[in-house]
């Protein structure tokens, strides 16, 4: 076993990564990287103040060091789904988290499709923030609740029977999710701004619970979308999918790409199925710093073609596409993040730095965790990937420990 994969052996040891280019300050630079006790450290402090020299060395073989990938929209993987079969939710979380880690995703938001209040209150305690490690797998940043306060005409693969509005204000939202559950376990929710009562709830909901708000599954006009943005809904869920089609006189949510405010981030699925490459390119050229690559993967990720569950519905996977059984409705994806990064370059002509930041820095910024995730800045968590020049993943580190198939074990459920 490689000593770097043993957390006890490397405890308190300073590790030097050399022969590498590291992603820092929006460029790839020829520098060393130092980590200790799960954090990226400033070598000047270690050398001059602590009088410490490296204990261990890792040759990156001219590879690229990137922060670990962050997926802010993941419904399931390897035969497990967060929204269905709630009796095995802990088993699902454990196996999905470990599977994601070995795919290079070191942090993520488990996503629940529109569900009943009973499901939220049963499942959410298992989806709250949880530190990443070789024992736990990828870090959970908190849950993403996609619905049920969304538009029935843009339901996608969601079950309209559980859809809600907020005619009575925040009380309706708290009745569905539970205020204390939002505060403890949830990172962000997706809502349609035009659903009754939602617009007036955005600002107080953020203030009272600390959750972030994203716009999606919506027929909102561009005026409504901009108003929701000003109230705090600064994220867009899977841009182009399940929203008003772009029109020159009313571009809907897509029109936020043309807003003067650059704080908006948009999730985009670069699997070549959900969004045509030209559309990805348009979004990139309009607002490159807002791009957040998401997989929106469902339980069939990493599995063979066939029929699988998505919440309370059934989906068919064939040739990389996922549709609700008996329909032409797209129902999530089976994409993996590393492929989305490569596709982003292929679709848009983006640089390697821009593509990597769309899977690291931008998602971290969108969730307000860039102080510890998504960068290689001093003090950040030592969740890192060693990549070759074609962006194939060669090594994965979580909390400063090398993750391998030997020390991270999971099972798939077929």
For every residue of 229-262, DSSP letters joined together read HHHT--EESSTTTTBPPP-SS--GGGGGGG-S-T
Give 263 or 342, the one with higher predicted confidence. 342
* Residues annotated within a binding site for Zn(2+): 146, 217, 238
Task: Indicate which residue of 172, 296, 381, 383 is catalytic.
Answer: 296
pLDDT in tens, 259-300: 877 789 999 999 999 999 999 999 999 999 999 999 999 888
Query: Residue 211 half-sphere exposure, CB side, CA atoms within 13 Å?
Result: 31
Residue 400 has what pLDDT? 98
pLDDT in tens, 195-210: 999 999 999 999 999 9
Q: Could you name the CATH architecture of 75-367?
A: Alpha-Beta Barrel (3.20)
CATH number of the 3-66+377-403 domain: 2.30.40.10
C-alpha distance from residue 325 to each of 82, 86, 109, 163, 243 (Å): 19, 22, 26, 21, 22
pLDDT band per the 50, 70, 90 thresholds, residue 310: low
Mean pLDDT of 217-245: 96
The count of other CB atoms within 10 Å of the CB of residue 11 is: 12
Phi/psi zone of residue 233: left (φ > 0), alpha (ψ -120 to 50 degrees), beta? Answer: beta
Phi and psi, residue 94, nearest 5°: -60, -45
User: What is the domain partition of the chain in residue ranges?
Assistant: 3-66+377-403, 75-367
Asked if 111 contacts 84 with a C-beta cutoff of 8 angstroms, the reply is no
Least confident of 173-177, 215-219, 301-305, 372-376: 301-305
In the structure encoding, which two tokens stand for residue 212, read together? Answer: 């972030």
* Residues annotated within a binding site for substrate: 157, 241-242, 249, 274, 330-332
Mean pLDDT of 141-165: 96
Residue 391 has what pLDDT? 98
pLDDT band per the 50, 70, 90 thresholds, residue 311: low
C-alpha distance from residue 77 to each of 121, 298, 396 (Å): 22, 6, 19
Task: Provide CB contacts within 8 A for 69, sequence distance 6+.
Answer: 104, 105, 106, 337, 338, 341, 359, 360, 385
The count of other CB atoms within 10 Å of the CB of residue 340 is: 26
Rounded CA separation 201/187 (Å): 17
From the list 104, 102, 97, 101, the residue with the least C-alpha distance to 143 is 97
Mean pLDDT of 63-92: 95
- Work out whether strand 69-74 and strand 393-398 pair parallel, antiparallel, or are unpaired: unpaired
pLDDT band per the 50, 70, 90 thresholds, residue 129: very high
The count of other CB atoms within 10 Å of the CB of residue 153 is: 12
In the structure encoding, which two tokens stand for residue 2, read together? Answer: 């490689």
Indicate the burial class of 389 (C-beta count within 10 angstroms; 0-12, 13-18, 19 or more). Answer: exposed
Is 390 assigned a catalytic role?
no
Helix or strand holding residue 393 (H, E): strand 393-398
Q: Report the predicted TM-score, pTM, of the whole model to 2 decimal places.
A: 0.96
Mean pLDDT of 309-322: 77
Rounded CA separation 352/341 (Å): 9
């Amino acid at each position: 076993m490689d000593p770097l994969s043993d957390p006890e052996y490397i405890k308190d040891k300073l590790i030097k990564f050399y022969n590498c280019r590291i992603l820092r300050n929006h460029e790839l630079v020829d520098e060393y990287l130092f980590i200790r006790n799960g954090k990226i450290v400033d070598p000047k402090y270690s050398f001059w103040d602590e009088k410490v020299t490296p204990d261990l060395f890792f040759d990156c073989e001219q590879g690229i060091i990137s922060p670990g990938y962050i997926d802010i929209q993941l419904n399931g993987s390897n035969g497990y789904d967060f929204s269905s079969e709630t009796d095995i939710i802990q088993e699902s979380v454990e196996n999905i988290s470990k599977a994601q880690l070995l795919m290079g995703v070191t942090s993520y938001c488990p996503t629940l499709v529109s569900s009943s209040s009973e499901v939220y209150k049963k499942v959410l305690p298992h989806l709250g923030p949880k530190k990443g490690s070789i024992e736990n797998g990828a870090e959970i940043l908190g849950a993403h609740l996609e619905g049920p306060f969304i538009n029935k005409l843009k339901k996608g693969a969601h079950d309209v029977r559980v859809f809600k509005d907020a005619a009575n204000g925040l009380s309706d939202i708290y009745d569905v999710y539970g205020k204390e559950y939002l505060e403890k376990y949830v990172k962000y929710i997706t809502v349609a701004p035009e659903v009754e009562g939602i617009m007036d709830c955005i600002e107080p909901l953020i203030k009272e619970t600390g959750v972030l708000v994203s716009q999606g599954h919506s027929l909102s006009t561009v005026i409504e979308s901009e108003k929701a943005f000003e109230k705090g809904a600064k994220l867009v869920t899977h841009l182009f999918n399940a929203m008003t089609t772009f029109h020159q006189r009313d571009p809907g949510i897509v029109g936020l790409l043309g807003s003067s405010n650059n704080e908006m981030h948009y999730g985009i699925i670069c699997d070549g199925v959900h969004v045509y490459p030209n559309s990805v390119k348009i979004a990139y050229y309009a607002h490159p710093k807002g791009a957040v690559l998401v997989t929106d993967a469902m339980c069939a990720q990493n599995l063979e073609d066939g029929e699988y569950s998505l919440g309370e519905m059934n989906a068919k996977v064939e040739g990389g596409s996922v549709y609700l059984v008996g329909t032409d409705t797209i129902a999530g994806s089976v994409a993996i993040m590393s492929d989305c990064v490569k596709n982003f370059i292929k679709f848009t002509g983006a640089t390697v730095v821009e593509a990597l930041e769309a899977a690291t820095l931008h998602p971290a910024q969108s969730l307000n965790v860039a102080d510890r995730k998504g960068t290689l800045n001093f003090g950040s968590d030592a969740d890192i990937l060693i990549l070759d020049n074609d962006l194939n993943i060669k090594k994965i580190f979580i909390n400063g420990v090398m993750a391998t198939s030997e020390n991270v074990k999971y099972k798939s459920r077929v």
